[in-house]
Chains A and B, each alone.
Chain A
């Protein structure tokens, strides 16, 4: 049984036929090559595929129809907040005033964009309970780095250079320890409490004169709100350290919990998640960072400033000597920021609070529906997502979470996040978001319950899944052990870059 289904098709290089592209699309003048200086010319022409226009269009349209997206179906990928992205955002981001603005345009002709960025900073500061916001980071992970670099600058400015430890719980996102390492600091992992929460006593024991920062995701990657967060933050500050809030799970707490007011010194917003931008496949995202009073001096430059006359301008390089400097070119991923602004303005404060209330309700409803078929290792009220486990199913039938995820594809659903967080055996992290109807939630729960029953009655059908996807079960192990990073035509095709 091959892994490739009939809906896949040969590549453009394999479909290429010599001469077929000639004359079908406008070509440069015959002497175009002669106008280039000799040393700038290739010795041989590149082996580009030759096809006519309808073949190319059909190739890409057919490939695009193999995609699974939140616009085609339910996408409960835990920790990723794959909510529906309102089309209004797309209209706003495509307005020529935003989309066609040159990134080096002088402030005088960029007033609309600068005002939007300034107002978005204000809205995010209010949502996070923070004093100020930078919109520059390109995604959450860069936001983390920005935050930790500011914390490092804060300690160094106080002459405190011995603080090199960053404490993270063992349920944290992998980006947290990566951030600490990137910033030249050392990660100390603290185990979770048995109820899945942060073990405050273990944190207290790990805090000391070497602690630079503590990074907490609240709600946690188990979808649980940290009940003892105030106590924990008091201990962090008593030890002279600062507290970083990973805002990955902000969709659960809008209008209900403001990290800045709770005592966090810095946080990032995954605006592409919480405030809706299509973000599968790696981006683009945006990871604005909010800071409390103590870290304002270290914000990246350039900030957007409002002058006394109400006009806006970008801070000049070097204008603020305490800044940690520039993190990204220009002012950030403005297309994503325009979408976030449109989303926030369309919902307003009350609407955003409803977003979180509905996201939490949907997750708890799904969790309740699955309780008889799956293990719920942390069986208490969850926030916007929850972890279910197939550990008992595996012991009983040999069917693993991976098999169940593949079988969900046959039922027409995108699988949830699996095997994360790492502390849960055979875990699946399910985040339905607020944008799904109860009928969709029920259909998904029915599918998971049916698969659990099938694991018992017809396990081979689960092992063979997916049966109805463009590709069947892929050999991920060989792909990782012997990665084949270069495409070669199977037969008769043109080799684009010969050896």
Chain B
């Protein structure tokens, strides 16, 4: 499955789109496929501070409950409220309407610690 070239990734299958001082976060199509149908997403409230690679929420599918890990440190600007009523967006449009968080980036140099698309794609094909 295609891995968008413009995004960065964690080894725990979150993606992040950096846009100036802000970042948008979600989980990858690969992760959504492995989880199966997502039935519930628990996200933090705006204003909460996240640490890079710390947990920021929980995604629940018919198969499993998994922690979500923040790709970058920062303050939550907005959580995707749409997911409360339509968790299936995570499966349908993982890189679009299924986004989870918008963050105010605390330390832009942390982006260097993330995987680029090629490295992430390799991770998922090895698995």
Q: Which residues of A contact B (CB under 8 A)?
A: 419, 422, 425, 476-477, 480-481
Contacts and interface: CB of A to CB of B under 8 A. Distances in A.
Contact of B88 (A422, A476, A481): A481
A480 B63 contact: no
A365 to B, nearest CB: 29
B64 A480 contact: no
B71 interface: no
Closest 10 CB pairs of A and B: A480-B39, A477-B37, A419-B63, A476-B62, A481-B39, A422-B64, A477-B62, A480-B62, A477-B39, A481-B87
A100 B63 CA distance: 43
A488 to B, nearest CB: 22
Given A476-B62, A477-B37, A480-B39, 9 more contacts: A419-B64, A422-B64, A425-B34, A476-B37, A480-B37, A480-B40, A481-B39, A481-B87, A481-B88
Interface string B77-92: 0000000000110000
A70 to B, nearest CB: 25
Interface string B34-47: 10010110000000
A481 B37 CA distance: 10
Interface residues of B, number: 11
A494 to B, nearest CB: 33
A422 B67 CA distance: 13
A422 B88 CA distance: 21
A425 B60 CA distance: 17
Contacts of A419: 63-64
Contacts, number: 20
Interface string B43-74: 00000000000000000101110000000000
Contacts of A481: 39-40, 87-88
6 contacts: A419-B64, A422-B64, A476-B37, A477-B62, A480-B40, A480-B62
Nearest to B87: A481
A476 B37 CA distance: 9
A283 B88 CA distance: 34
A419, A425, A480 pick with most chain B CB within 10 angstroms: A480
B115 to A, nearest CB: 18
Nearest to B62: A476
Contacts of B39: 477, 480-481
Interface string B103-127: 0000000000000000000000001
Contacts of B63: 419
A419 B62 CA distance: 10
Contacts of B34: 425
B122 to A, nearest CB: 17
A481 B87 CA distance: 8
A476 B62 CA distance: 7
A476 to B, nearest CB: 5
A480 B39 CA distance: 6
B31 to A, nearest CB: 13
A317 to B, nearest CB: 39
A480 B64 CA distance: 12
Contacts of B64: 419, 422
B110 to A, nearest CB: 23
Nearest to B86: A481
B47 to A, nearest CB: 24
A424 B77 CA distance: 36
Contacts of A425: 34, 127
Contacts of A422: 64
A387 B4 CA distance: 34
A477 B39 CA distance: 7
A193 B60 CA distance: 26
A476 B88 CA distance: 13
A221 to B, nearest CB: 14
Contacts of B87: 481
Contacts of B62: 476-477, 480
A377 to B, nearest CB: 12
A11 B36 CA distance: 33
Nearest to A419: B63
Nearest to A400: B36
Nearest to B39: A480
A295 to B, nearest CB: 31
A129 B95 CA distance: 54
Contacts of B127: 425
A425 B40 CA distance: 21
Nearest to B85: A481
A321 B21 CA distance: 58
Contacts of A477: 37, 39, 62, 88
A476 B39 CA distance: 10
A264 to B, nearest CB: 28
Nearest to A483: B39
A194 to B, nearest CB: 13
Contacts of B40: 480-481
B39 to A, nearest CB: 4
A425 B126 CA distance: 13
A428 to B, nearest CB: 13
B12 to A, nearest CB: 12
Contacts of A480: 37, 39-40, 60, 62
A419 B64 CA distance: 8
A259 B87 CA distance: 44
